[in-house]
Chain A
């Protein structure tokens, strides 16, 4: 094999552009593997695990770019390097087209009436750009992660004073005036308004509302840190008050992972004064009746969607949120095919909130669920450590995305993990989520199906049957096509469920069989 590693000092491209370049180079004739990445610690480790050994990799810093290519023959390698340079070059502008602005100020000269900045620069620069945008009177959608709580507090104080909306940091999605920002789905217009501190939580609830035949007015993302003690729910309260004023919104849904207790009380106090019906879904958090008052509480994202739909006018039970008997039979049939060693669920999630939701469903059933984002601190395991008993891994956690595209786009790390779980004789079922819509991979099923097939073969060679369960977060309006994606996965033997909560319960049934059936369905189905 011929390999070449080139470090380009102080050279920057965003992770999604680089992933696309890496994919193009990997497909060239004679190329066995290729990566064009920013030299973050994670990427340096991934390169070394992929067999690229070069001193230059070790000495590269976060601001450098690494081009690493492996080819069967030297000629292919040279051609790939030339093509990489071509793809990295700025490209020629068509005649008459101006070079793009290189700063926010330059952009505002061209577009003085802009009212929103979408910012997705590396975390260490994010506060600087966001503060500048707020200073120029722009609302901000701040996708960047790795921003400190102190910085978040400072930014939100300024935004509130200026009556501007700061969505984020670490905000994956919002739907404002029916336009999707970041990652999100094509959702029908309607009367349900959402404020969410969790990106995939917002995607799951909005798509379930859509599938039930209703729609949304606004879906405001706050960023995952908003309901921390320090930040105090600033954006959630602001978003809530704005939805309260907005005429199109008739029902309000609040979504978060378990908030800090003081912040939860503060948010609920505001919500209790609402003139509109409110559904609260604080995953993993118990809201006491006095705090809740007339607010409706939902245990799962699916419950939140169901209750919101009922409050917005769909008849109770009108939305299809029940697991059909035939599916239960299929799950039990899968359970009977398992070897004795196969006892545990392995959930590999690209959606952090879906990971958390699965943990909240599995924990009462099995006692302990291990995770890199656990409900209970004592169940913490590192994301790159082997799974332990029932395990749910958030593959979108910061440890997996430093300088890399999110797993909703870049499937490589989750695919490796799927194969790893397939080799483990204790794995009973692999549970995954798939997100469609803006921002996500063009063909998630195309990325997953070959790996699922390979995983099933690996298990079969070891004498095991390996079931897969998935839920697809998406609508028929998403460009990837919900029906075709589900069909492709289903064709590879994946059991498709309409929500993550249902996929999780079916996985529990596959892993444990009839013994757990009453516990699963006695709870909430």
Chain B
């Protein structure tokens, strides 16, 4: 950011993108090909995809 803009807060529009990709892996590949640093998360549905179980675990703070 320039000195003149220092009164304004920083936003993502003024920063270099550094990405964590959660889900579709090709989005990470596409970003890498544009020179963006990306860490890809090998995501799986929590609680085996059981939403009710997940809500219960969240209530219990697990």
A interface list, Cβ under 8 A from B: 10, 12, 14-17, 62-63, 99-104, 106-108, 110-111, 113-122, 124-125, 128-129, 133, 138-139, 143-144, 163-165, 176-177, 179-182, 218, 242-243, 245-247, 438-439
Contacts and interface: CB of A to CB of B under 8 A. Distances in A.
B59 to A, nearest CB: 13
A107 B31 contact: no
B49 to A, nearest CB: 3
A12 B20 contact: no
B18 A118 contact: no
26 contacts: A14-B23, A16-B24, A16-B25, A17-B24, A17-B25, A17-B26, A63-B49, A99-B42, A100-B41, A104-B41, A107-B20, A111-B37, A114-B39, A116-B12, A120-B22, A120-B27, A122-B45, A164-B12, A165-B11, A177-B12, A177-B15, A177-B16, A179-B17, A218-B13, A246-B13, A247-B5
A351 B41 CA distance: 28
A179 B34 contact: yes
B51 A124 contact: yes
A175 B15 CA distance: 13
Contact of A113 (B18, B34, B41): B18
Contacts of A181: 27, 31
B30 A119 contact: no
**Interface band, chain B:** 35 or more
Most buried by B among A10, A17, A108: A10
A117 B27 contact: no
A467 B17 CA distance: 45
A62 B50 CA distance: 10
A115 B23 contact: no
Contacts of B34: 179-180, 438
Contacts of A99: 42
A124 B52 CA distance: 11
Interface in B21-59: 21-28, 30-31, 34-37, 39-46, 48-51, 54, 58
A186 to B, nearest CB: 9
B9 interface: yes
Contacts of B49: 10, 12, 62-63
Contacts of B8: 245
A40 B25 CA distance: 20
B21 to A, nearest CB: 5
A100 B30 contact: no
A218 B13 CA distance: 8
Contacts of A242: 11, 13
A117 B22 contact: yes
A116 B46 CA distance: 22
B46 A125 contact: yes
B57 to A, nearest CB: 11
Contact of B17 (A62, A101, A176, A245): A176
A101 B9 CA distance: 31
A163 B19 CA distance: 18
A181 B35 CA distance: 13
B20 A117 contact: yes
Contacts of A63: 45, 48-50
A14 B17 contact: no
Contacts of B15: 115, 177
A102 B31 contact: no
A276 to B, nearest CB: 15
Contacts of A117: 19-22
Given A164-B12, A218-B13, A101 B19 contact: no
Given A10-B48, A165-B11, A116 B42 contact: no
Given A101-B41, A163-B11, A114 B20 contact: yes
Given A63-B50, A100-B40, A181-B31, A143 B45 contact: no
A113 B19 CA distance: 9
A138 B21 CA distance: 12
A12 B45 contact: yes
Nearest to A249: B13
Contact of B21 (A108, A118, A128): A118
Nearest to A217: B13
B44 A108 contact: no
Contacts of B17: 115-116, 176-177, 179
